[in-house]
Structure 1
Amino acid sequence: MMHEDRYGNAFTTSSDEAADAYREGVDLLLASWQGTAEAFERAIDVDPDFALAHIARARVHSFYQQGDLARKKAAIARELVARRGSMRERSHVETLALAVEGRLPEAIAATLKHIETWPRDAVVLSLPLGAFGLFAFSGMADHDRARQDLCDSVARHYDEDWWFLTTHGWTLTENGNVSRGRAITERGFALRRENAHGAHTVLHAMFEDGSIEEADRFVEQWIPAYDRSGLLYSHLRWHQALVALEKDDAPRALAIYADVLHPSITKAAPLNMVTDIASLLWRLTAYGHTVPKRLWSEADAVAQGLFPNSSLPFVDVHMALFAAASDDPKALQTRLAAVEQRLADGKLPAGPVVPAICRALAAFAEEDYAACVRLLAPVLGEVVRIGGSHAQRELIEDTYIVALMRSGELPRARAVLDARLHRRPSLRDRRWQAAMG
């Protein structure tokens, strides 16, 4: 029996109830809202042969580092869609399966081909667009531009769709068109406020245009409607901790850490959990605030268990933060060796920027600020290759600026700050300027 999703894409299921649960699950998935997995599970329970529900559930498993479960669901979806699925459904399942399996180049190629024919397949379109999406983790130096270009190319197909507007606005913001990006993002968010993805994109726009007080109020007013189990709950509070640091309020940042980010408390997906913890604690330390060693050691133990081997460059860099801050040269050397082997084998699309950053972070932790500057200066323009958002990657530039100041290279530090303040208003950068006279 054929049904349609909210975007007019036909899909096959024998049950009206399963179709309703799947449509609900897709909206919850796109909104990063609680209940996503449960909706897809309901669809599967009612119709065990529903291929698209299985591959959607695989996608959610992959968010939570449940690789075995994700791959099993993907295999089931492939088998089912081959028996009873349209061309779009088969392409949809295969594209998501490639992404779930971590086959990035193949998944990107399949996504772009799929979108040419079915531009309103929002679930597939979402794959390359996030800070942790296929484009961001591809090693591309121009993934900010690639995301915007892709959204621009399909915008006419989406009109005033709440998910697409918030996503399109975010791609504009990340690509430097902040005022237009914020306007489009807020237009989409107004259409559906039960949308953690949309709240996240609004916060990025506020970060980029310097509206930190507004960002703080926004989180305080909106977050009570979002369950702590939600995919982005802890990450949204991480953004609030960055606001606290902008205002030089380390106690508040640490209070937010204790409330929602500490590994014994957080319900975040592993990738967000590890990277948010490492980057926040590192920022606190780099900005001159005291971070109890136990916070590093507690988080490091969890992070090592989740990501024991070399993985994504974005992960490698944050694991280097743990090793450097924990004074664990063996862990850092093991991580570096794995990264450099992947580089030598041609399996590190992000390139030599990854080991360079890891070495620079180690030098900073050892208070060899001149070495940190020497290592980072040639690769600052390539940091974008590790993926993530601009707000997340700014940690590397912050480390570079502090290293410049502490090594006495004040003219270079002023020049970097002047250029950055031209791009993004920042109370912290102004404090640093004032401290240098």
Structure 2
Amino acid sequence: MAHEDRYGLPLSTSSDQAASAYREGVDLMLAGWTGTVETLEHAIAADPDFALAHIARARVHAFYQQGDLARQKAALARELVGVSGTERERSHVETLALAIEGRLPEAIVAMRNHIDAWPRDAVVLSLPLGAFGLFAFSGMADHDRARHELCESVAHHYGEDWWFLTMSGWAMTENGDVAHGRKVTERGFDLRRANAHAAHAVLHAMFEDGSIEAADRLVDEWIPSYDRAGILHGHIRWHQALGALEHGDATRALAIYADVLQPSATQAPPLNVITDSASLLWRLSAYGHAVPKPLWVEADAAAQRLFPKSSLPFADVHMALFAAATQNRQALATRLAAIEQRLTEGKLPAGPVVPAICRALAAFADENYAACVRELSPVLSEVVRIGGSNAQRELFEDTFLLALIRSGELPRARNLLDARLHRRPSLRDTRWRAAMA
């Protein structure tokens, strides 16, 4: 009997065990759930020639920045699929391999062509979605809209699929349709509660609509079902720490940091390790709370090991947070020089916003708030190009807002707050207004 994936697409394996394990492994991967690695390894063991199992395993390696292993698996998948794969499977493997190799423009073209031909290939469709997807890290200024439009274009192929509802709802939320996005995401979450991406997407909607207490309850109620080794476990708690900061509760935010976010405690992928730790510690400090210096030193040391050289703009700007906060001017100068060189060579799709953010953070840490304002003012509308989510990128708007306040530019600060309140409610805005009174 011919085997298919959960979306009805043929699988080139004669092994019942391999096909079953692959279907389960893909679902676990799409849900951000533990057991993904073990299940995909079972599929490979049952059929060592099953190319799709190898490329799925390569994708999980890539999540954890295990670049050599990911590329080796991708190369093997290419070899295997060339022998026995279908046209769809060859395109599937090639598209994922391009993404794994960091060839983003080629991967985006391949993904679009693939989805045009096989819209129900959820693994390929997952590539451009989310805050760390191909679109977000492409340097596009409209990647939120692009994700939403892509989901809209294929929605009729998915119906009430739990994974698609999760990701399409989140795309709506990030593109500004928060109320509708939250409803769609919650519908997907209800269909499969063992889905970390759904919990995460709902938290983003709650952040946008100001449901801070509801978000806190959601995490408290749901997180016991999710293993600490889960790919999003620490990041979901990071959202809870942001909620604590909305209430000015630095003690709780620091307790969450110590529990699951600091490098010695976390089991998160490297990109989450540096972005979650840097952004939470920076927010704590910027909002006037004391951050013990050893926390910065430990996190910075881990970050330098994980990202020693300029790479993704989203990583680079968070590395700049570490360098600025620890007053490591040499590290910042070295990274900034590499970023500017890439910009000069046309190899920085996100553009001038990346070095501008780095310079602004250094000025902020030096308490040169007027210089921070000067650096960020021309590029503030372009921060979206570094990728990530609205909640993550708001850090840079926060920094700009605080620099305005501290440099005495209160009218501009009030205008920015008015614009934010028009976009979404926030308790922190109230506190800042009190600071400006």
Distance, in Å, in 2 between the alignment partners of 1:240 and 1:405 is 27
Deviations 1:208-236 (A, max 9, x none): 00000000000000000000000000000
SS at match of 1:33: coil
SS at match of 1:393: helix
How many angstroms does 1:2 deviate by? 3.4
Answering whether residue 53 of structure 2 is matched by residue 50 of structure 1, we say no
AA of the residue aligned to 1:251: T
Distance, in Å, in 2 between the alignment partners of 1:431 and 1:308 is 37
SS at match of 2:11: strand
SS at match of 2:346: coil
Q: In the alignment, what sits opposite 1:307? A: 307
Q: In the alignment, what sits opposite 2:149? A: 149
Distance, in Å, in 2 between the alignment partners of 1:419 and 1:327 is 32
Answering whether residue 336 of structure 2 is matched by residue 332 of structure 1, we say no
Distance, in Å, in 2 between the alignment partners of 1:365 and 1:38 is 44
Structure 2: gaps of 5 or more residues: none
Distance, in Å, in 2 between the alignment partners of 1:99 and 1:230 is 22
Deviations 1:214-272 (A, max 9, x none): 00000000000000000000000000000000010000000000000010110000001
How many angstroms does 1:273 deviate by? 0.9
How many angstroms does 1:130 deviate by? 1.0
Structure 1: gaps of 5 or more residues: none
The 5-angstrom pairing of residues 235-246 of structure 1 reads 235-246=235-246
Deviations 1:175-226 (A, max 9, x none): 0000000010101110000000000000000000000000000000000000
Q: Percent identity?
A: 76
Answering whether residue 412 of structure 2 is matched by residue 412 of structure 1, we say yes
The 5-angstrom pairing of residues 100-111 of structure 1 reads 100-111=100-111
Distance, in Å, in 2 between the alignment partners of 1:336 and 1:234 is 29
Distance, in Å, in 2 between the alignment partners of 1:142 and 1:25 is 32
Provide the TM-score with structure 1 as the length reference. Answer: 0.99
Deviations 1:301-355 (A, max 9, x none): 1100110000000000000000000100000000001100100010000000000
Conserved? CA contact 2:129–2:135, under 8 Å:
yes
SS at match of 2:137: helix
Distance, in Å, in 2 between the alignment partners of 1:433 and 1:424 is 15
In the alignment of these two chains, the number of paired residues is 437
Conserved? CA contact 2:137–2:387, under 8 Å:
yes
Answering whether residue 97 of structure 2 is matched by residue 88 of structure 1, we say no
How many angstroms does 1:107 deviate by? 0.4
How many angstroms does 1:430 deviate by? 1.0
How many angstroms does 1:426 deviate by? 0.3
How many angstroms does 1:434 deviate by? 2.1
Q: In the alignment, what sits opposite 1:423? A: 423
AA of the residue aligned to 2:91: S
SS at match of 1:360: helix
Provide the TM-score with structure 2 as the length reference. Answer: 0.99
Distance, in Å, in 1 between the alignment partners of 2:164 and 2:430 is 35
Q: In the alignment, what sits opposite 2:225? A: 225
Q: In the alignment, what sits opposite 1:348? A: 348
How many angstroms does 1:46 deviate by? 1.1
Distance, in Å, in 2 between the alignment partners of 1:277 and 1:435 is 26
AA of the residue aligned to 1:284: L
Distance, in Å, in 1 between the alignment partners of 2:410 and 2:127 is 42
Deviations 1:126-176 (A, max 9, x none): 000110000000000000000000000000000000000010000000000
Find runs of 4+ consecutive structure 1 residues off by over 3 angstroms. Answer: none
